[in-house]
Structure 1
Amino acid sequence: MFELERKNRRAEWVFMVLSGLFLGSLTMLNILGITKFISLDFVFFGNEIPFPIAIGVLAYPITFLCTDFISELFGKKRANMVVWMGLILNLWVLFIIWIGGVLPPGPELDDLGNVIPNTNGWIFYEVRTATFAATSASMIAYISAQFIDVQIFHYLKKKTGGKYLWLRNNGSTLVSQLVDSIAVILITHYYADALPKDAFGNITEPLIYFITASYLFKFVTSLLDTIPFYFGVKYLTQYIKAGHIEK
């Protein structure tokens, strides 16, 4: 009896840490989101290739690694539960930022209706605008991509009889992140109109560059996380002796 309680306690601690890391990264990537675009241009056969990625993308691969860990250790039901919790968290962030904007005093505006720099709340309203755009764009993409990730992960696990951990880890993440990259860039542009623009009001790079850069970053980091995923699953399985956990 005591041994079972000890196993359950270890399992719940692991689940809480993975869920906390997932939800914390999710909140961070939505708040930072598109507040800054990083330009990682590179030269290919003498041609300079633009590689613009939003700063929020830096935390994104961690969210998929966490859901893969939860899927492997605790099963599909719990992985989907964490995904739904992430959606609720998105809505909570939007609510707090919205109510913070409507409470007095209001922002000081210029003749064009823009918030005057360096006045009370200026930084807040800059972050508020970017966060609303990033979160609105990411919520649809997030739900689609995360559920696709969980579904493909368990589909591959069933088809391979639980073998080839690398296949379900990379296969689920690479497909779901392609969906996410396309959806979030298109929504950010056509719905939120929030991609970086030049002095003439045109987006700085064609949409294909934003989509490709975002996906390639996620693609590379997904391949790199295969090794920590393998060792993490092995260690955590031994640590919590997950065989008794209902999946």
Structure 2
Amino acid sequence: MRLFPIIMALFVTVLLVSNTVAVKITHLGPFYFDGATILFPLTYIFGDILTEVYGYKRSRIVVWTGFLACVFMSLMYWLVGILPAANDWQQQEAYLAILGQIPRIVIASLIAYLGGEFVNAFILAKMKIATKGRYLWTRTIGSTIVGQAVDTVLFVVIAFTGIIPANLLMYMIVSNYVFKIAFEALATPFTYAAVGLVKKIEDVDYYDSDTDFNPFRFSIKDMMA
């Protein structure tokens, strides 16, 4: 598993950066979304590669690694934020405005991430068995359609209900969802190439025929299996 640690590191890096830039709300053409929307779909591409090549068990470890990394990041942002600022440092308010972790946003992000990633991995693994490993595009896009729906709805509803008007809330959900699905569809050739390359280098093509899909039942041994 020469490439597994590298792919996991890329996954976690993209996840942490996307959660940091999520504080900015963007209005671009017909789309209204948070800053993470332009980057977060990459985690689903990496998730697809991990599940398709290494299987759900190892993907489950990566998802939990990303979760713990996000928790640690949020705690560090919060801890540094509450430390007293030096008298000659005038950027405390700017720091809190950008990196000050709002508990509601953090909780929404973590719940949505876990729900979306595990649904994505589960559906891809099951579809791989059903299609006997053929038609990769149906798995990458099909799993993303459901996984991103879970992720987007959970995050927007938990994070912004009561904060922004209901009509804007729905518009934000639709904008985020359409953008992410379009991103995944356009990235399909890249996903195909990446999956093929990783399978060739690793000489691995795992099928989750006997896998326990309980997201809470795992061990470090799963990474070594």
The TM-score by the shorter chain falls in which range? 0.7 to 0.9
**Gaps spanning 5+ residues in structure 1: where?**
1-10, 43-50, 108-117, 196-202
Give runs of ≥4 in structure 1 deviating > 6 Å: 244-247
Q: Does 1:124 align with 2:95?
A: yes
How big is the alpha-carbon RMSD for the aligned residues of Structure 1 and Structure 2? 2.5
Equivalence map 1:129-148=2 (5 Å): 129=100, 132-148=103-119
**Which residue pairs with 1:209 in the alignment?**
171
Report the structure number with the largest CA radius of gyration. 1
SS in 1 for 2:40: helix
**Gaps spanning 5+ residues in structure 2: where?**
207-222
SS in 1 for 2:100: helix
**Which residue pairs with 1:114 in the alignment?**
none
Q: Which amino acid aligns with 1:26?
A: L
Equivalence map 1:1-247=2 (5 Å): 11-12=1-2, 14-34=3-23, 36-42=24-30, 51-105=31-85, 119-129=90-100, 132-190=103-161, 193=163, 203=165, 206-242=168-204
Higher relative contact order (CA 8 A, sep 6+): 2
Instruction: Provide the C-alpha distance between the structure 2 equivalents of 1:133 and 1:33, rounded to a whole number of angstroms.
Output: 13
Q: Which amino acid aligns with 2:9?
A: G
CA contact (8 A) 2:108 2:159 kept: yes
Distance 1:130 1:96, change over 3 A: closer
Could you tell me the percent identity over the aligned residues?
A: 26
Q: CA deviation at 1:102?
A: 2.2
SS in 2 for 1:234: helix
Distance 1:130 1:217, change over 3 A: farther
Instruction: Provide the C-alpha distance between the structure 2 equivalents of 1:17 and 1:24, rounded to a whole number of angstroms.
Output: 10
Q: CA deviation at 1:122?
A: 1.6
- So what's the TM-score if we normalise by structure 2? 0.84
Q: CA deviation at 1:132?
A: 4.6
Q: CA deviation at 1:131?
A: 6.0
